[in-house]
Each structure stands twice: as C-alpha cells, then as structure tokens.
Amino acid sequence: MEQSSTSALLQGTVLDLASDVVSALRSGDHVRAGSTLTGGGAGEGVARAAVRVLGADTLLPSVLLGVPPGPGQLAVFKDAVAAHPPRDDAAPAVVWSHWAMTRALRRTGPSPDGPPSDGTGAEPDARWLDGAGWQFLTHQLAVLAPLALPGEECAVTRVARGRPVDVARGFVRAVRRRDWQQAAGAGRWLTLLDGVPDTLGLEAGLDFVRLMGGSDPRVALQLEAARLMPAAVLL
Amino acid sequence: MPSKDKVLEEVTRTENIDIDAALDPAEPDGVFRDSRECAALALQSGGTNLLLSPPTPRPKKG
C-alpha cells in the first residue's frame, strides 16, 4: 500500500515536472521549468526522485534555449544526481541516464571559478546494444531520449547513428502499438540522425503522435525537444 | 521547520521509491491502431504512405 501510494506520488511529480519543462521549452522561461521543485508541492525526497526519473531533460530548457537554470532547480538537480547514483548491478539504461545527468550538470552548472561541478564523466560502455534487435534498440533509445541532443557525442549516440533505418522501423512499430512515449522518444532521436528514409514521413508521424499522445507531458516533452533540436545550437 | 513526523514520513516515502523500475521500464503491451485512426493519419499525412499498411497478421487461436 505504501509502495503504491509512493509510486503514484512519484509518477504525479514526474508528470508535473515534465509539464514545467514543456512550458519552459514553449515559452523560454526557466522559472516555469523549476516551479514544481521550488513550489513546495512535493516533499524533498520525492522531488529529488522525480528529477532523477525525468533525468537530464529536467535541464533541457537550459541546454536547448540557453537560459540558465534557477538556483533552486539546479540545487535539486545536483541533489538528485548525488542521492541516486546507479547501483553496481544497475541496468545499462539506469547507468546511462545518470551519466546523462552528470553531463547536463557539467554543461549548465559549472562553478564560476572552479572545475566542472562533477569531476567524473567517464562514459559507460554501450556493449549491451551490440547486435540488439531493432525493437529492443528503439525501446532503449526511447528510454534514453535525454541523450539525444544536437552536437553531443557518446557511445549510445554512435550506435543510433549507425542504425537510422532500424530506429525508423522502431518508431513505426511504437506508433502502431500506441506506445506514444516510445514513439516520441524515437522520433526525437530520428530528428538527429542522417539516413532516415524519406518514406517514413517523420514530420507527419510526430504530428500524429502529438495528436494521439500529446496530452501526456512526458510525450509532449519529447515532441518539443524534437521540434527544437534541428534549430538548436548548444552553448 | 518540518515536524518530526513529517520528516519520518518523507524518509519512509523516499526509501520506498523504486527508482530503477521507473528508469528502465519494461515495454508495455502493444495496442494496435484501428482503421479509423489509419484513415485520420492518411488525411493528415497528405498523401504519403506513412503507417498505412494494415496490422501484421496474427496467428489465430485454436
């Protein structure tokens, strides 16, 4: 009972946080991006966990639009990175999502007169994607959609670059399965990849995902990222 | 200043959160689109062939 109520609270906070990010991406207002974190609606532990779940995308407005994160938002983000490191036996997606957060911190939150806020930065390996079927590949890429950023390199990005047709197939499969979150995440990756078949009709496909699943803020977040990324230049 | 009970409640909640399950969720079961949505997509895509093929045939039971 406790577990389910906590999960529901966490899910609700993740959705609120994603809504904030979507608003910020649409308006360019970083204050909105952190309003759930600084508004006191969720307890600190739940807010930290929600930031860990939403991952590096919590700072996406700062990364894509160049607006600095609010101090309170940045503090919670740092706390989330520190409080929820991956366990030794964590799944690769968990390890990579944490790495993505540390990368986002390095990009947006270096101390003004010191080294980057995180001294590590060693990249995990992407061997678990070697020879992965296109369905599994697309699922994992969608889970790791925060890694899909223009001008950013990592092992997962290199795997995705090598398999644009497989990601396109995965996108179509996700749409046909009504898995809007996976479709939106895969679509975000596809906006970054060369060699995506024109016959996919990515733009119309993303419009369709928005029409069908855009009421979920996590889906809307990926769609906003996909919309902004082609024009975005990272700082 | 939060009360002791509040702090305890918060700690309990945080410890019960299964972060890993949320970070690496299993793929949900698929629900295939019906033909009305295919038609809506056909109109929206402006004549391209996007996603218009019928669902993959599935083995019949029995």
Spatial separation of the C-alpha atoms in residues B18 and A6, rounded to whole Å: 9
**pLDDT-derived band at A116, boundaries 50, 70, 90:** very low
| Chain B contact present for A87, CB below 8 A | yes
A-chain residues within 8 Å CB-CB of B13? 2, 6, 9, 43, 45-46
Alpha-carbon gap, residue A84 to A30, rounded angstroms: 24
d(CA A11, CA A15): 6
Q: Which amino acid is at A76?
A: V
What mean pLDDT do residues A187-200 have?
96
Mean pLDDT of A114-142: 82
Does A46 score more than 60 pLDDT?
Answer: yes
Q: How far apart are CA A108 and CA A90, in angstroms?
A: 26
Partner A contacted by B23 (CB < 8 A): yes
**pLDDT on residue A113:** 43
Q: What average pLDDT does range A99-104 have in this prediction?
A: 96
CB A22 within 8 Å of CB A224: yes
Chain B interface includes A82 (CB < 8 A) = no
Residue A160 has pLDDT above 90, yes or no: yes
Give me the interface pTM, i.e. the ipTM.
0.78
Question: Using one digit for the tens of pLDDT, what is the confidence trace for A24-36?
Answer: 999 876 555 556 6
Mean pLDDT computed over A144-164? 96
CA angle A173, B30, B60 (to 5 degrees): 100
Give the model's pLDDT for residue B37.
64
Residue of A203, A165, A170 whose CA lies nearest to A185: A170
| Residue of chain A minimizing CA distance to B53 | A176
Per-residue confidence (pLDDT) for residue A8, from 0 to 100:
86
Q: Determine contact, residues A164/A190, Cβ cutoff 8 Å.
A: yes
Per-residue model confidence (pLDDT) at position A119? 45
How many alpha carbons fall within 13 Å on the CB side of residue A65? 23
pLDDT band at A114 (very low <50, low <70, confident <90, very high): very low
Residue A107 has a pLDDT of 85
Question: Any chain B CB within 8 A of the CB of A45?
Answer: yes
- pLDDT band of A117, cuts 50, 70, 90: very low
User: Residue A2 and residue B12: Cβ atoms within 8 Å?
Assistant: yes
Among candidate residues A114, A115, A49, the one with its CA nearest the CA of residue A77: A49
Q: Does A177 touch chain B (CB under 8 A)?
A: yes
Is the pLDDT assigned to residue A235 strictly greater than 90? Answer: no
Give chain A positions within 8 Å (CB) of B33.
Answer: 175-176, 178
pLDDT at A188: 98
Q: What is the pLDDT of residue A228?
A: 93
Q: Is the pLDDT of residue A79 over 90?
A: yes
Least confident span in A9-13, A198-202, B43-47? B43-47
Q: pLDDT (tens digit, 0 to 9) for every residue of chain B, 62 residues total? A: 556 566 555 555 555 567 888 899 998 877 665 656 666 666 666 555 555 555 566 777 65
Contact criterion met (CB < 8 Å) for B23 and A52: yes
Chain A touched by B55 (CB under 8 Å): yes
Whether the CB of B34 is below 8 Å from some CB of chain A: the reply is: no
What is the distance between the alpha carbons of residues A173 and A134, in angstroms, rounded to a whole number?
A: 10
Helices (H) and strands (E) counted in chain A, each on its own, are 13, 0
> Which residues from chain B sit within 8 angstroms of residue A139, using beta carbons?
27
Mean pLDDT of chain A: 88
Quick one: angle between helices A202-213 and A164-176, nearest 10? 30
pLDDT at site B29: 77
Greater model confidence, A41 or A74: A74
Out of B17, B31, B44, name the one closest to residue A10 (CB): B17
What is the distance between the alpha carbons of residues B49 and B62, in angstroms, rounded to a whole number?
34
Across A55-160, where does the E strand assignment appear? Answer: none
Query: In this complex, which of A90, A172, A179 lies closest to B30 when CB atoms are compared?
Result: A179
Residue of B27, B34, B35 for testing the chain A interface, max A β-carbons within 10 Å? B27
Task: Please state, in angstroms and rounded to a whole number, the distance separating the CA atoms of residues A215 and A210.
Answer: 8
How far apart (Å, rounded) are the C-alpha atoms in residues A38 and A50?
A: 13
